[in-house]
């Protein structure tokens, strides 16, 4: 493995030279943010032959990576990090300026959020940009991969880099946006194998250099867009497509329930037509992606005088789903004539079979249920052992399903973990007290119900009684 050449100027090299430099291990990349996006990005570059520096303000993540352990729970990353560490191609640091000085490519993968006013919170991005600018050199390349409102690369990132470094984007250093396109639990595979990499630079040269590098990482190739704004918007459009279609599913599911029809049956038949892609309904949409992207776009659209009514309506529908589930719980209590029940919620994670509760709809569901007269609430999740938000709310979290069910009068399925895919008869055998199942993910097969017990799904009619 060749030693990285700090003086190498990527922006001024031709395609053949860039490819050779990456293959030979002479390119060094720093990744700012070692979360669910940054860690697999770093692994992908290491796997392609680069040397890497992982940068984060979280000392626990730095400690893990410095040992060769992945800072996040993702397949294959630890093996790649340990191998690179043994070969002297990996280090971890909280010194963003130092990492910028010693690397040729700087990738920003820090979290971007929405504040309580509905406005983008880009503080982490600005902080990373200042660190990078302090060590930016002529010929370097900066790539933003965090999901951001359109225009962020040129309106927020570019001015910080130019002002603090004294260099000019497009002339002295390259600047591009290339959105991450990953799903948790398969992130590295998605980067390397599943999808083309989308790239849009602030100028043609930045686009070409970024595309050349990523063409050696992404097996499905690279899609070059006209500029950074198009690439930023493309990423948000992917998520908003899903948000709108999930909202449509939730709306049709509610009608199906009222009409005594099973939404899953309707969906299965409708999707046999190649132009129909009905999604699954559920208790809500979580994670730091789909709930956030519409807010980014709504904020940007408002600034240019555009009213995105469909996007806003879809977001409202999905945000109201925890309240809808709690209404089903209340209706079930009234039908059965029970009061002060013990409620067990199955699932804290925002998506099935991942250990991630960020922006999970379960939190809102708990808040709604607490406003009702209930005896107690317990949340079960097989993949999450500790949660500070539930602790703040005074809600116990357990991974013991059998123990949780023994005390349950009402069972609410909030997450589609594989563990929860079972028959209704199995659940009622686990608990003599259980009277009501509210299935927010349609994971239960209703084979039988005991007397004076009820089942209802988001898009399934009431059964039993």
Same domain? 95 vs 27: yes
State the Cα–Cα distance between residues 186 and 353, nearest whole angstrom.
11
pLDDT of residue 367: 97
Do 147 and 256 fall within a single domain? no
Task: Please state the domain count of the chain.
Answer: 2
Same domain, yes or no: 213 and 279: no
For residues 369 and 271, membership in a common domain is answered with yes
Range 219-236 average pLDDT: 98
pLDDT in tens, 244-262: 999 999 999 999 999 999 9
The model's confidence at residue 6, banded by pLDDT at 50, 70 and 90, is low
Structural domain contains residue 428: yes
Quote the DSSP letter at residue 272.
T
Q: E strands of 330-459, at which residues?
A: 342-346, 376-380, 397-398, 410-413, 436-439, 454-457
pLDDT higher than 90, residue 5: no
Amino acid 118: pLDDT:
83
- In a domain, residue 395? The reply is yes
- State the angle between helix axes of 15-23 and 204-214 in degrees (0 to 180), rounded to the nearest 10: 40
| Separation between Cα atoms, residue 447 and residue 452, nearest integer Å | 15
2 within a domain of the structure (yes/no):
no
Contact 283, 362 (CB under 8 A): yes
Domain hosting residue 144, numbered range? 10-226
For the residues of 158-199, what is the DSSP string, one character each? HHHHHHHH---BTTTBEEEE------TTSHHHIIIIISPEEE
Co-location of 213 and 99 in the same domain: yes
Asked whether residue 231 is assigned to any structural domain, the reply reads no
What does residue 49 show for φ and ψ, rounded to 5 degrees?
115, -5
Q: Is residue 244 domain-shared with residue 182, that is, in the same domain? A: no
Same domain for 164 and 261, yes or no, is no
Please give the positions annotated as active site: 235, 289
Q: What is residue 199's three-state secondary structure?
A: strand
Nearest C-alpha neighbor of 104 from the set 22, 27, 214 = 27
The pLDDT of residue 449 is above 70:
yes
Q: What is the pLDDT of residue 116?
A: 82
pLDDT of residue 4: 67
d(CA 363, CA 283): 11
Identify the pLDDT of residue 410. 98
On the CB side of 400, how many CA atoms lie within 13 Å of its CA? 7
Among 200, 226, 252, where does a domain finish?
Answer: 226
Predicted confidence band at 428 (pLDDT cuts at 50, 70, 90)?
very high
Residue 112 CB-half CA count within 13 A: 30
- Whether 385 and 436 map to the same domain: the answer is yes
**Average pLDDT taken over every residue of the chain:** 96
In a domain, 1, yes or no: no
Confidence class for position 1, pLDDT limits 50, 70, 90:
low
Residue 397 inside a domain? The answer is: yes
pLDDT tens digits, one per residue of 13-46: 999 999 999 999 999 999 999 999 999 999 999 9
3-state SS of 272-283?
Answer: CCCCCCCCCCCC
Tally of residues, the chain? 465
Same domain, 173 and 265: no
- Label residue 453 by pLDDT band (50, 70, 90): very high
- Predicted confidence band at 8 (pLDDT cuts at 50, 70, 90)? confident
| pLDDT in the model for residue 2 | 62
With respect to residue 218, please indicate whether it lies within any of the assigned structural domains: yes
Q: Among 166, 201, 226, identify where a domain stops.
A: 226
The alpha carbon dihedral of 220, 224, 229, 234 has a sign of negative
Query: Quick one: average pLDDT of 197-224?
Result: 98
For residues 425 and 448, the answer to whether their CB atoms sit within 8 Å is: yes
**Same structural domain, 321 and 216:** no
Residue 193 DSSP code: I
Rounded mean pLDDT of 100-116?
A: 95
Is 264 within a domain? yes
Q: Which of 175, 196, 226 is the last residue of a domain?
A: 226
Task: Verify that 462 and 372 share a domain, yes or no.
Answer: yes
pTM of the entire predicted model:
0.93
CATH of residue 414's domain is 3.40.50.720
Tell how far CA 419 is from the center of its chain.
22
Whether 196 and 296 share a structural domain: no
Query: pLDDT value at position 3?
Result: 65
Residue 373 has what pLDDT? 85
Given a contact cutoff of 8 angstroms between Cβ atoms, the answer to whether 288 and 359 are in contact is yes
Is-contact 139 110, C-beta < 8 A? no
């Amino acid at each position: 493995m060749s030693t990285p050449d700090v003086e190498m100027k990527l922006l001024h090299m031709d395609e053949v030279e860039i490819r050779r430099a990456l293959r030979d291990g002479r390119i060094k990349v720093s990744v700012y943010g070692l979360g669910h996006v940054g860690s697999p990005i770093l692994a992908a570059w290491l796997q392609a032959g680069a040397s890497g520096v992982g940068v984060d303000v979280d000392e626990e993540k730095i400690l893990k990576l410095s040992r060769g352990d992945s800072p996040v729970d993702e397949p294959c990353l630890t093996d790649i990090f340990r191998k690179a560490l043994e070969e002297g191609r990996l280090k971890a640091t909280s010194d963003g300026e130092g990492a910028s000085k010693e690397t040729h490519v700087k990738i920003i993968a820090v979290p971007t959020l929405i504040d309580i006013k509905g406005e983008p919170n880009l503080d982490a991005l600005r902080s990373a940009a200042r660190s990078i600018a302090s060590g930016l050199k002529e010929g370097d390349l900066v790539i933003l991969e965090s999901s951001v409102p359109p225009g962020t690369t040129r309106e927020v990132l570019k001015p910080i880099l130019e002002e603090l470094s004294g260099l000019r984007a497009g002339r002295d250093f390259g600047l591009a946006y290339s959105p991450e396109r990953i799903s948790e639990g398969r992130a590295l595979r998605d980067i390397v194998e599943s999808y083309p990499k989308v790239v849009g630079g602030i100028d043609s040269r930045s686009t070409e250099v970024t595309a050349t590098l990523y063409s050696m990482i992404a097996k499905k190739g690279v899609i070059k867009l006209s500029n950074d704004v198009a690439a930023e918007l493309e990423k948000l459009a992917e998520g908003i497509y899903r948000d709108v279609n999930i909202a449509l599913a939730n709306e049709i599911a509610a009608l199906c329930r009222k009409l005594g029809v099973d939404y899953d049956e309707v969906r299965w038949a409708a999707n046999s037509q190649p132009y129909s892609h009905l999604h699954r309904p559920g208790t809500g949409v979580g994670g730091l992606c789909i709930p956030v992207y519409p807010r980014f776009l709504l904020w940007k659209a408002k600034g240019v005088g555009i009213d995105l009514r469909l996007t806003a309506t879809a977001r409202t529908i999905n945000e109201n789903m925890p309240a809808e589930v709690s209404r089903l719980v209340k209706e079930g209590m009234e039908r059965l004539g029970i009061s002060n029940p013990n409620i067990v919620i199955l699932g804290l994670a925002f998506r099935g079979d991942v250990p991630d509760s960020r922006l999970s709809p379960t939190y809102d569901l708990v808040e709604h249920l607490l406003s009702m007269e209930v005896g107690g609430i317990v949340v079960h999740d097989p993949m999450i052992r500790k949660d500070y938000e539930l602790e703040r709310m005074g809600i116990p979290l357990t991974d013991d399903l059998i123990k949780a069910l023994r005390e349950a009068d009402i069972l609410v399925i909030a997450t589609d973990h594989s563990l929860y895919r079972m028959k209704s008869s199995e659940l009622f055998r686990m608990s003599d007290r259980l009277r009501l199942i509210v299935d927010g993910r349609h994971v239960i097969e209703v084979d039988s119900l005991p007397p004076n017990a009820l089942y209802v799904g988001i898009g399934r009619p009431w059964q039993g009684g």
